[in-house]
Amino acid sequence: MSLIEKFNTAKQALYDHVGFVEDWVVYAIDDRTDMVWREDGTEVKFANDINNFNSDGIYYVDEIYTQRFYQKWVFRGDELTMIIVDTHTDGNRFFAIFSNDKEVKNS
């Protein structure tokens, strides 16, 4: 199997895991599985660790991007969650991938 075939197979496995089907617009995948995170339907907050997450500013916040070609923007699988985000920096939008076991439920 060629390198590009392996890439496409892995990408499709990720999409299948979270229930995502590509449509007109596809974004780069940003691996954030080492971050703690929480989403509220409007934005996703994430940080390197829970102390930074709960700090006065050592964390990141991205808007959940409501791409018109998709009916939802948060895709949850058993182990991973993919969220379409807009960083509001240089036009960057991503499929941000988070580990479900690092989701902050209460904070």
Instruction: Give the pair of three-digit tokens for residue 95.
Output: 């499929």
Q: Rg (Cα) of the chain, in Å, rounded?
A: 14
User: pTM for the full model?
Assistant: 0.93
Question: For residues 38 and 45, is the Cβ–Cβ distance under 8 A?
Answer: yes
Render each residue's pLDDT in the chain as its tens digit; 107 residues: 799 999 999 999 999 999 999 999 999 999 999 999 999 999 999 999 999 999 998 999 999 999 888 999 999 999 999 999 999 999 999 999 999 999 999 75
Residue appearing with tokens 């006065």: 56
For residue 89, the model assigns a pLDDT of 94
The DSSP secondary-structure symbol of 27 reads -
